[in-house]
Chain A
Amino acid sequence: MNKAFAAIKQAAVLLRRHPWVALPFVILAITEGIVLYLLFLAPQQPFASLLAPPIERFYGERYVHYPWHLLKLPELFFQCKMLLSLLPGMFLSAVLVGLVGDIQLSKRPTFWKHLNTSAHRFFTLLCIWLLNLGAIKLIGMFSTQTFAWAKAHDFLFPAQLLAFFLSFWVQMLFLYTLPLIMLFNDSLLQALLKNFRYLKRLFFPTSVCLLIGALFYLGLFYLELDLKNLATRISPEVIVVVLSGGILMTLVINLFVTTTSTLLFIQDDSTDLTPSNITSEAST
């Protein structure tokens, strides 16, 4: 517990002293904002010429009309977010890990160099992303099965809450692969094996950090659950407001979780940050 709170405190200090560290996730949040805005404008000209046909093709004609397209927006945005989490999401997360590593090693942080490193490790990062995606899909499948049962037993909300926390917690599975790849230039297999060793040692503090992140999002999650009713009661545009809030909240949580987990990793006893062990890019 102390380890977790120490890491959180350190992360707060680090982000206050070096706010530009947040740049990768700010870029990601801006990209997500633009995508959300484009999806919102999809049924309107001039965007409709380009964006409406695929929506019409995959979801049906009604979803390019008001207010149905707004009701479909969460699903559409989720699909886009999944893609954005790979490109540029995965690279930007890797860059942030690199930047935190630089600061901890008292080196001059360089955004482009880390971006270059992450580009060189594209396939390794892609594999990690796919593993993460698989884990999230598994939780999704489990949720679908559970929700059907829970609905029949008047147990839906607790089941949804459980699925929500589980979806946060599952991100932990491959969390330490990123610092291993970015700071130690480990191969995929090495990174995966070492990741589980780190996970075993840092299971509790990492879980605490992720739980705090999940608690941050809880309010918005509650709104998202009943988004359609909320839209009917207030206005369909409220969906855009909630999704925009989600982008901001994701920015804060991602920043918090990635920074604290990187700090936990660096400060772990088994992490040897002597220059001979770390990647040439990180040491220079």
Chain B
Amino acid sequence: MKTTIAYSCLIWSVLAITGCSFDPGYEAEKAFWEADQLGRSLAAAHPDGLEEKQYLELIRAFGQVVEVAPAETLAAEAQFRIAQMYITIGNLESAHTTLNSIFKEFQEDKEIAARAAFSNGKLYQANGEIEPAMRQYQAIMQNCPLTSIGLEMPIYIILYYQQQGDQDRTRSASSQARKHYQNLMNAYAGTSVAKKVRPYLLRVFELENAWADMLDFWTAEIKKQINRTDIIEANLGKASVLATRLDQPAEAKEIYESLIARFPTEPMTALVRVRLAYLEVADSNWDKARQYFSRAWQDLPADNPLRINSYLGLAMIERKQKNDRAAFDYYDRIQAEFPNNSTALQVPLIKYLHHQNVNQPAKAEEALQAAIETYRSQWLDKPSADTAPIVGQLLLQCLIQQKDWSAAATHLEVLTKRFPEEARYNKLFTALQTIDPSDLGRALQDFSNNPQSMPAMQPPR
């Protein structure tokens, strides 16, 4: 009896500790974590990098995940890691086999299948094997057309041939892309999928500079649409092509005006008014522009960020009419209504740049000092994760504008530590360590003036 009880207790304990469960998801998580831990301990033990035998050990560990739960998403993730490790040790054949196996086994999960085929294609592409790479990309377009990678694929192919300078193949890829997207839109006509595909087709037109085709597309869409929002959207698209691509602002204005007349109270009409107002500004029709902007922000709800565009437009009109005080009032409204918006955060710097542009050095100096104080206090107040990068960058730019090189360099160091993922800060900070101290100012100014490294903070025109 005692022996039976003892054995029962022992079996119960073993079952309790091992889980007594055959949930493959859990088993996969466990095996994946164990493999991950092994990877960490190997990396810690070999700080100079792993050798092939250690990679093989890791591949075996991640292989356990596939063995215990082959159909689980984590098994696919483990196989991606395995493929990556095969690539690292130069065993491309096995990497291709692994990625192919993910593509075949995860046909139910199209996102995973598309990711596997795309990785496989990129691997072929990196090794100069374009034909098999294209086969992989075609497989994605056929099998996983509505995944995020699948939707992007035709454009990726066009861009690839464009980069290669192969015009024939670019044309052929464009034509294929158009057909592909058109087929998808026809197959899913009237559903949200068709709307999801539409921007990709428009991007193809854009890549080809086929503005007339884009115009035809929007005209066809206008004829098709049955609800108000779709009609306004299609008309906005058409007018935008006319105004910005075909240089026909008069026709665009006509469309906007007709939309306002047909749908005076629709929520989207505020956007129509803002766009029309900008066209009026371009024609120096200040009163009309002011009227459209004012009506737009009056119609918009208090939290709609389109109000910022209206205020910016109104401020621009006032500035053109040399009415600085009124322009600054609109900037202040942006700050008051949307304190955490990136445009609102830029307002102190915009004011400084305005004074500088209109050649008011004393006022510019005062505005710059105020801007630095504002940004410094915001920075010290520990801004949120969303606003911190903007505030940090604006403070740096102001310090550079003030030519306070040492303060700018110190702040740059802080930014480098706070945002280690920002390559531009790291790059500049590393560069500053090597240059002559007398060149510090020039380097910082170059950085500030380079639109790639720092977005230009010019007042809106």
Question: Could you tell me which A residues sit within 8 Å of B by CB distance?
Answer: 37, 40-41, 43-45, 47-48, 65-67, 236-237, 240-241, 244
Q: Judge if B413 is at the interface, Cβ distance under 8 Å.
A: no
B23 in contact with A66 (CB, 8 Å): no
Q: Judge if B191 is at the interface, Cβ distance under 8 Å.
A: no
A237 in contact with B17 (CB, 8 Å): yes
Q: Which of A40, A44, A66, A244 contacts B33 (CB 8 A)?
A: A66
B16 in contact with A48 (CB, 8 Å): no
A241 to B29, CA, bound (A): 20
Kindly list chain A residues whose C-beta atoms are within 8 Å of the C-beta of B17.
237, 240-241
Q: Which of B13, B20, B29 contacts A65 (CB 8 A)?
A: B29
Kindly list chain B residues whose C-beta atoms are within 8 Å of the C-beta of A44.
19, 21, 23, 25-26
Q: Judge if B135 is at the interface, Cβ distance under 8 Å.
A: no
The 10 A-B residue pairs with the shortest CB-CB distance in the complex, in nearest-first order: A66-B29, A44-B23, A44-B21, A45-B23, A44-B26, A66-B30, A65-B29, A37-B16, A67-B33, A237-B17
- Binary contact readout B24-44 vs A (1 if CB under 8 angstroms, 0 otherwise): 011001100100000000000
- Closest CB in chain A relative to B45 CB, distance in Å: 15
Main secondary structure of the interface of B (DSSP, over half): helix
- Closest CB in chain B relative to A47 CB, distance in Å: 8
A241 to B20, CA, bound (A): 15
B19 in contact with A41 (CB, 8 Å): yes
Q: Given the known inter-chain contacts A44-B21, A45-B21, please indicate yes or no for A240 contacting B26, CB distance below 8 A.
A: no
A206 to B79, CA, bound (A): 62
- Can you offer 8 A-B residue contacts whose CB atoms are under 8 A? A40-B16, A40-B19, A41-B20, A44-B21, A47-B21, A65-B29, A67-B33, A244-B16
Kindly list chain A residues whose C-beta atoms are within 8 Å of the C-beta of B23.
43-45, 48
- Closest CB in chain A relative to B63 CB, distance in Å: 18
- Closest CB in chain A relative to B377 CB, distance in Å: 30
Kindly list chain A residues whose C-beta atoms are within 8 Å of the C-beta of B20.
41
Tell me the B420-439 residues at the A interface (CB within 8 Å).
Answer: none
Kindly list chain A residues whose C-beta atoms are within 8 Å of the C-beta of B26.
43-45, 66
- For the A-B complex with A37-B16, A44-B26, A65-B29 known, give 11 more contacts whose Cβ atoms are closer than 8 Å: A40-B16, A41-B21, A43-B26, A44-B19, A44-B21, A44-B23, A45-B25, A45-B26, A66-B26, A66-B33, A67-B33
Kindly list chain A residues whose C-beta atoms are within 8 Å of the C-beta of B21.
41, 44-45, 47
A65 to B29, CA, bound (A): 7
- Closest CB in chain A relative to B95 CB, distance in Å: 28
- Binary contact readout B330-347 vs A (1 if CB under 8 angstroms, 0 otherwise): 000000000000000000
Main secondary structure of the interface of A (DSSP, over half): loop
- Least CB separation from A238: chain B residue: B17
- Least CB separation from A65: chain B residue: B29
Kindly list chain A residues whose C-beta atoms are within 8 Å of the C-beta of B29.
65-66
- Least CB separation from B28: chain A residue: A66
A44 to B30, CA, bound (A): 11
- Closest CB in chain B relative to A200 CB, distance in Å: 44
A66 to B29, CA, bound (A): 6
- Closest CB in chain B relative to A65 CB, distance in Å: 6
A43 to B20, CA, bound (A): 12
Kindly list chain B residues whose C-beta atoms are within 8 Å of the C-beta of A241.
17
- Least CB separation from B29: chain A residue: A66
Kindly list chain A residues whose C-beta atoms are within 8 Å of the C-beta of B18.
237
- Least CB separation from A33: chain B residue: B16
A252 to B338, CA, bound (A): 64
A24 to B444, CA, bound (A): 77
A45 to B72, CA, bound (A): 14
A44 to B15, CA, bound (A): 14
- Binary contact readout B170-214 vs A (1 if CB under 8 angstroms, 0 otherwise): 000000000000000000000000000000000000000000000
- Least CB separation from A37: chain B residue: B16
Q: Which among A43, A66, A244 has the highest number of chain B CB atoms within 10 Å?
A: A66
Tell me the B298-352 residues at the A interface (CB within 8 Å).
Answer: none
A250 to B4, CA, bound (A): 25
- Least CB separation from B25: chain A residue: A45
A5 to B33, CA, bound (A): 51
A236 to B36, CA, bound (A): 14
- Closest CB in chain B relative to A6 CB, distance in Å: 32
A244 to B12, CA, bound (A): 12
A240 to B26, CA, bound (A): 16
A237 to B16, CA, bound (A): 10
Kindly list chain B residues whose C-beta atoms are within 8 Å of the C-beta of A41.
19-21
A37 to B20, CA, bound (A): 10
Kindly list chain B residues whose C-beta atoms are within 8 Å of the C-beta of A48.
23
A44 to B20, CA, bound (A): 10
- Closest CB in chain A relative to B13 CB, distance in Å: 8
A208 to B348, CA, bound (A): 71
- Closest CB in chain B relative to A2 CB, distance in Å: 37
Kindly list chain B residues whose C-beta atoms are within 8 Å of the C-beta of A67.
30, 33
Kindly list chain B residues whose C-beta atoms are within 8 Å of the C-beta of A40.
16, 19
A37 to B17, CA, bound (A): 9
Kindly list chain B residues whose C-beta atoms are within 8 Å of the C-beta of A45.
21, 23, 25-26
A47 to B26, CA, bound (A): 12
A45 to B20, CA, bound (A): 11
- Closest CB in chain A relative to B346 CB, distance in Å: 36
A65 to B26, CA, bound (A): 7
- Least CB separation from A237: chain B residue: B17
Kindly list chain A residues whose C-beta atoms are within 8 Å of the C-beta of B25.
44-45
Q: Which among B13, B18, B20, B23 has the highest number of chain A CB atoms within 10 Å?
A: B23
A25 to B18, CA, bound (A): 26
A41 to B16, CA, bound (A): 9
A41 to B23, CA, bound (A): 10
Kindly list chain B residues whose C-beta atoms are within 8 Å of the C-beta of A237.
17-18
A67 to B18, CA, bound (A): 13
A240 to B16, CA, bound (A): 8
Kindly list chain B residues whose C-beta atoms are within 8 Å of the C-beta of A66.
26, 29-30, 33
- Closest CB in chain B relative to A55 CB, distance in Å: 14
- Least CB separation from A236: chain B residue: B33
- Least CB separation from B21: chain A residue: A44
A207 to B13, CA, bound (A): 35
- Closest CB in chain A relative to B403 CB, distance in Å: 43
A238 to B33, CA, bound (A): 15
A44 to B16, CA, bound (A): 13
- Least CB separation from B26: chain A residue: A44
- Least CB separation from B24: chain A residue: A45
- Closest CB in chain A relative to B72 CB, distance in Å: 12
A48 to B17, CA, bound (A): 17
- Least CB separation from A240: chain B residue: B17
- Closest CB in chain B relative to A68 CB, distance in Å: 9
Kindly list chain B residues whose C-beta atoms are within 8 Å of the C-beta of A244.
13, 16
A67 to B23, CA, bound (A): 15
- Closest CB in chain A relative to B39 CB, distance in Å: 14
